[in-house]
Amino acid sequence: MPLRLAATCPLGLEEFLEAELQALGASDCVRERGAVGFSGTWDDVLRTNWRLRTANRVLVELAGWDGSSAEALEAGAGNLVESSRSWDGLTAAELFDPRLSFAIRATSSRSQIRDTRWVGLKVKDGIVDAQRRRFGRRASIDRKNPDIRLRVWLSRDRATLLLDTSGVPLDRRGYRVVTSEAPVRENLAAACILASGWNGNGPVVDPMCGSGTMLAEAAAFALDLSPGRHREQWAFERLPGFDKSAGETLREEGSGLPETDLRLFGVDRSAEAIETAGINLQRAGLAELTSLEVGDAYTFEPPTGPGLLVVNPAYGERLEENRDQWSRLGDLMKQHYAGWQAVVLAGGEGLGKNIGLRPKRRIPVRNGPLDARILLFDLY
C-alpha cells in the first residue's frame, strides 16, 4: 500500500506545489487549502523533502478517526498504537516505540473541540496510555527536539494524525544566514519564479534585492539546484529503519553548480542589504554568477536582455507613498525592461494596483501574516 502524503505550503501556492509534485512523478494529487495530498513511498518522502521549492513540510498520513469528543480522540490514538498497522514497512510498534520521544502539534477547524492544546493533550494521553499497555512503559515528550513529530488536524470532528518528516520547515533552506529588512520567505520567492513561466534563459535582475532571496531562488530554479542542498537535518532521519544510504544518494541530486552563463544582478539602496545579499548568495554557492551594487532601482542600467525582472518593493505604510511607488515601478518596467518577463511581489496598500500596466496574471498569496499578490507581466 502506498503512503498517503501531504505537502503543506503557504496559502495561494497550492497550484505551484501541485505542479512541482506532478513533475516529481507524484500520483493522486489532491489540492487542498494550504496543502496538496498525494500518494507515494518513503523514497518519495525523501525526494519531495529534498526537491520541493514551494512546500513548508512533507507529512505522512498515519490514521483518521472520530474526534467529536475527548474520549473519542483518546480512544482513536490508543487503538492506533496497539494496532498492527504499518506504513510502507514502518510498523505501529516501531513508530510508537516508547524509547523514542515525541511531540504533538494540533489544529482544529469547524469542530466541537476548538482548543488545540486540548486536542493535542487528548491524543497524547491516548498514545502514552496505549504504550503502557503494549510495551509496559511510555515515551517521553520532547517539544524542542523530539525523535517523532506528530500533527493532529481536527476538521469537522474528524481527527487525522500525521507524521512530520521535515522538521525545520522546508522554506528555511540554510543559505540565508543573515536577512535584511522584510525578507520574503524562500518558498514564496520560489513560487514567484515558477509562476513567471521563465525558461531560465537570460539575466535575472532584482533592483530592490534586499537579502537576495529572489535571485537565489531564480538561480536554483534555472540551474536545477535542489532547495534542500544546504540543510543539515531532516526529521525523517530519526525515524526507525531510516536507510542512511538512500539519503546519501539523494544528496547528490542537484547539489553542484553546473557550467552556466546565467548572471544575477542585485541592486538595493541600502548598503547593509547589499552586504547581506552578498553573504547569502555566497552561502548559496552563487557568488561567481552575481553582481551586486548599492544604487537606485530607478536609475540602474539593466544588462542586455531579455531576461527576468523580479522585484519585491518595500511595503509602504501610507497610501500616497504607495501610489507613487507603484506608478514609478510601472514606468521603470516600460522604459528599461522592454521584451523582459517581470514578476512583482506586491504587498501593502493597493497591492500594486497603481502600477499602470496590465498584469497577465494576478495571484493572491499570503506573505507570512500579510496579504500579497504575485503580478506577472510580459513587457513589450
Ligand X SMILES: C[S@@+](CC[C@H](N)C(=O)[O-])C[C@H]1O[C@@H](n2cnc3c(N)ncnc32)[C@H](O)[C@@H]1O
CA proximity to 64, closest of 159, 162, 163 = 159
The residue length of the chain stands at: 380
- Binding of ligand X by 9 (CB under 6 A): no
Residue number, nearest CB to ligand X: 210
- Binding of ligand X by 187 (CB under 6 A): no
Q: Is 53 exposed, middle or buried (0-12, 13-18, 19+ CB in 10 A)?
A: buried
Q: Out of 269, 318, 360, 361, which residue is the one contacting ligand X (CB under 6 A)? A: 269
- Binding of ligand X by 293 (CB under 6 A): no
Q: CB of residue 359 vs ligand X: minimum separation in angstroms?
A: 18
Angle at 159 between CA 155 and CA 163, to 5 degrees: 110
Q: Out of 103, 194, 267, 355, which residue is the one contacting ligand X (CB under 6 A)? A: 267
Which DSSP category does 26 fall into? -
Site string for ligand X, 316-345 (x = CB under 6 A): ------------------------------
Count of residues interacting with ligand X (CB under 6 A) = 22
Gap between the Cα atoms of 104 and 148, Å rounded: 9
Q: Which of residues 164-183 bind ligand X (CB under 6 A)?
A: 180-183
Q: Out of 166, 312, 341, 367, which residue is the one contacting ligand X (CB under 6 A)? A: 312
Which of the stretches 61-69, 221-229, 235-243, 310-318 binds ligand X when contact is defined by CB under 6 A? 310-318
Taking the least distance from each CB to ligand X, the nearer of 203 and 207 is 207
Q: CB of residue 300 vs ligand X: minimum separation in angstroms?
A: 8
Q: Can you list the alpha helix ranges (DSSP code H) found in the chain? A: 14-23, 42-51, 70-81, 92-95, 116-135, 186-196, 213-222, 244-250, 271-283, 319-336
Do the Cβ atoms of 365 and 33 come closer than 8 Å? no
Q: Is 65 exposed, middle or buried (0-12, 13-18, 19+ CB in 10 A)?
A: middle
Taking the least distance from each CB to ligand X, the nearer of 120 and 266 is 266
- Binding of ligand X by 367 (CB under 6 A): no
Q: Is 300 exposed, middle or buried (0-12, 13-18, 19+ CB in 10 A)?
A: middle
Gap between the Cα atoms of 100 and 77, Å rounded: 17
Q: CB of residue 131 vs ligand X: minimum separation in angstroms?
A: 44
Q: Give residues in contact with ligand X (CB under 6 A).
A: 180-184, 207-208, 210-211, 213-214, 267-270, 273, 296-298, 312-314
